[in-house]
Amino acid sequence: MVDLYNQIFRRKSFHKFKNTIPLTNQDLKIVNDAIKNAKPLDENIKIKVDIVKESQTSCKLGAELCLLFYSEETNFYLENIGYIGEQIDLYLTSNNIGTLWCGLGKTKTDSLDGLKYVIMICIAKVSKNDFRTDLNSFKRKPLKETWEGDLLPFSNSVILAPSAVNSQPWYIVNQNNELFVYRNNKAAKFGFIPLKIMKYYNQIDMGIYLYFLDLCFTFNSFDFSKELIFSNPKNTNKTLICKYSYKKKV
């Protein structure tokens, strides 16, 4: 099993790809394996991933390929794409393939086999030295702003999850061996980006964060289960999306 947990500390968002290395046939197999082996947050949601050249999109980042994510539109479809995509992100990082979640990238078609285009990840092979080596390079909110209750051994690891314009929309309440995962709706109020667009991407971000949580629980030898919670409250600062029950393995 590939150790994806330690890729949390290596991964970075390549906003511009430089000095890239052409992807080999073996690299392409790695990309396809990453897609094929990614586990969904909700296995009932239909999705597809298409691999195209960057030139077939509006992106001009120096990437070689783009992974285009398509999904049926249903409850948690955005979180599901985030959850799947982040597994691919970390797996590619472990093979020195750089990535960028490209929210504003456009495609030639908004649908594939009846599924709606959601988002893309741009990729290119880079040097292993291009990934993070210094945790101080991560810019994250102080933990007290996103976590309430007792800390867990990985509380400082899970906050390294990437998010749209680093908005970090998660808020955690930990009590009585239960973890309540909220989306902070205030995080969507970000600068010049329209609120509707930020809410869209923050739902994807929450899927990314849930995968980080699963990975951290597993690596740190916890038994856990999770329950997705669908609610659509109005005029609330936080939306509960998931509840974890956990205990440390003996």
Residue 20 and residue 56 share a domain: yes
Residue 102 and residue 83 share a domain: yes
Q: Backbone phi, then psi, for 29, in 5-degree steps? A: -65, -40
Residue 122 and residue 95 share a domain: yes
Residue 122 and residue 39 share a domain: yes
Q: How many CA atoms lie within 13 A of 231 on its CB side?
A: 16
Helix axes 77-94, 25-37, angle to 10 degrees: 140
pLDDT-based confidence at residue 121 (cuts at 50, 70, 90): very high
Residue 12 and residue 120 share a domain: yes
Residue 160 and residue 61 share a domain: no
CB of 204 within 8 A of CB of 233?
no
Contacts of residue 61, defined as CB under 8 A and 6 or more positions apart, other chains included, come to 14, 15, 16, 17, 54, 100, 102, 122
Full domain range(s) for residue 74: 5-130
Tell which of 74, 99, 130 closes a domain.
Answer: 130
Quick one: average pLDDT of 4-17?
Answer: 94
Work out the number of other CB atoms within 10 angstroms of the CB of residue 214. 19
Ranges 90-94, 136-140, 230-234: which has the least confidence? 230-234
CATH code at position 75: 3.40.109.10
One-letter amino acid at 194 equals P
Residue 122 and residue 76 share a domain: yes
Tell which of 106, 130, 154 closes a domain.
Answer: 130
Ranges 21-35, 107-121, 153-167, 221-235: which has the least confidence? 221-235
Tell which of 79, 112, 130 closes a domain.
Answer: 130
Long-range CB contacts (within 8 A, 24+) of 31-38: 31/65, 31/67, 31/92, 31/97, 31/123, 33/91, 34/87, 34/88, 34/91, 34/92, 35/67, 35/88, 37/87, 37/91, 38/84, 38/85, 38/87, 38/88, 38/91
Count of the separate structural domains present in the chain: 2
Taking 70 as the threshold, does the pLDDT of residue 20 lie above it?
Answer: yes
Residue 118 and residue 233 share a domain: no
Q: In the prediction, which pLDDT does 108 show?
A: 86
Q: In the prediction, which pLDDT does 1 show?
A: 46
Residue 123 and residue 15 share a domain: yes
Mean pLDDT of the chain: 93
Residue 150 and residue 95 share a domain: no
Taking 60 as the threshold, does the pLDDT of residue 162 lie above it?
Answer: yes
Token pair 């960028």 is found at 100
One-letter amino acid at 44 equals N
Quick one: average pLDDT of 4-28?
Answer: 95
Q: Backbone phi, then psi, for 192, in 5-degree steps? A: -90, -5
Residue 67 and residue 181 share a domain: no
d(CA 217, CA 227): 15
Taking 60 as the threshold, does the pLDDT of residue 123 lie above it?
Answer: yes
Residue 124 and residue 178 share a domain: no
Strand ranges (E), the chain: 47-53, 65-71, 97-102, 111-112, 115-125, 147-149, 170-175, 178-184, 222-228, 238-248
